[in-house]
Amino acid sequence: MTVDIVRDIAGEVLKTVLLVSGPVLVMSLVVGLLVSLFQAVTQIQEFTLVFVPKIVAVFLCIFLMLPWMARVLITFTINLMEKIPGMAR
């Protein structure tokens, strides 16, 4: 196994991780910004107010995106396993 193969695999891993985790992180960011804006407008400074909407939004996003996330991860795993015989040479 050469350095180029390891670099290519690491690049694919990084792309896959960002692709799978991106929607959940963006959802958490958007909900956090909306709740912070709501707190600034209404002057309600309750620290726990941020966590409940974020948790609900993240779980809802994971629930809705789970089939797509699983498909991406399965495709990545299958492609990696298909490349293993060629890497052993």
Task: State whether residue 44 is helix, strand or coil.
Answer: coil
The pLDDT mean for the chain works out to 91
The encoded tokens of residue 16 equal 């896959």
Q: How far apart are CA 46 and CA 61, in angstroms?
A: 24
d(CA 34, CA 40): 10
Task: Give the separation between CA 43 and CA 7, rounded to whole angstroms.
Answer: 50
Q: pTM, whole model, 2 decimals?
A: 0.79
Sequential pLDDT tens for the chain (89 residues):
788 888 999 999 999 999 999 999 999 999 999 998 988 898 888 777 888 989 999 999 999 999 999 999 999 999 999 988 887 76
* Residue extents of the structural domains in the chain: 3-87
